[in-house]
Amino acid sequence: NAGVTQTPKFRILKIGQSMTLQCAQDMNHNYMYWYRQDPGMGLKLIYYSVGAGITDKGEVPNGYNVSRSTTEDFPLRLELAAPSQTSVYFCASKRTSGSYEQYFGPGTRLTVT
Amino acid sequence: QQQVKQSPQSLIVQKGGISIINCAYENTAFDYFPWYQQFPGKGPALLIAIRPDVSEKKEGRFTISFNKSAKQFSLHIMDSQPGDSATYFCAASIGGETSGSRLTFGEGTQLTVNP
């Protein structure tokens, strides 16, 4: 199993550009999450999904959108990039509501200039 | 609103020493308290976790102590090694599908173990 994979690893965007961060998992996990990690801070939840077709906002959803059309994939969309979105983005997944451990991907480092 | 507070921000210990990191939470509905370890350039990985029905959990050199009445929990790393140098995050979540089992993280502690 590859676990949780994220692409790209690094990206530089200009203000106002759009992009999609890709996340995929091959563990047949129902739950998936997007977090952002700013320097010296803990991870903040952006969006999460408890299954295909179901998404909900986390703590810091503004400026982002998600979709979950399959169990495996959970892309994160930035429509109008702003410098405040410069961060490291982590995707995570979890098996079911009865399990607790979240498995994290390697992250995408995004810089908006 | 910061629901999980972690201290210290950074910690330097000598090889063989004990590393102690503390966390305090506010929401009494939390029912799962994990610690994650993160190396530079990597995603966080689960180190050890505890449920509130026990006061201590030990796995090798790592121990979680949990004080429900004080709403505090801590990570103890015994016989700290240079390979333990990493950033450690405490977290808390509420189980169940309606909550999404979302993790609320502390700010992180950068641990350096000197040889």
Q: Would the pLDDT of B1 be above 60?
A: no
Integer Cα distance of B47 and A40 in angstroms = 20
Alpha-carbon distances of A54 from A49, A60, A68, A77, A110, rounded to whole Å: 6, 18, 7, 16, 26
CB pair distance less than 8 Å for A104 and B44? yes
Q: What are phi and psi of A85, to 5 degrees?
A: -90, 5
- Interface test with chain A among B9, B64, B105, B107, by most A beta carbons within 10 Å: B105
Q: Are A103 and A92 in contact (CB under 8 A)?
A: yes
Query: Nearest CA to CA, how far is A41 from chain B (Å)?
Result: 5
Structure tokens at A53: 């077709």
CB pair distance less than 8 Å for B9 and A40? yes
Going by pLDDT thresholds of 50, 70 and 90, the confidence category of residue A55 is very high
Integer Cα distance of B21 and B34 in angstroms = 13
Report the SS3 class of residue B49.
strand
Q: What pLDDT does A1 receive? A: 75
Mean predicted confidence (pLDDT) in A32-59: 93
Mean predicted confidence (pLDDT) in B33-37: 96
Q: What is the pLDDT of residues B44-92, one digit of tens each?
A: 999 999 998 999 999 999 999 999 999 999 999 999 999 999 999 999 9
Q: What pLDDT does B98 receive? A: 65
Q: Give the residue numbers in B contacting A (CB under 8 Å), as ranges.
A: 4, 6, 9, 32, 34, 36, 41-46, 49, 89, 91, 93, 95-97, 100-108
Rg (CA), chain A: 13
Q: Would the pLDDT of B96 be above 90?
A: no
Instruction: Say how many residues make up chain B.
Output: 115
* B9: closest chain A residue by CA: A40
Integer Cα distance of A91 and A107 in angstroms = 7
Q: Are A108 and A9 in contact (CB under 8 A)?
A: yes
Q: Are A58 and A43 in contact (CB under 8 A)?
A: no
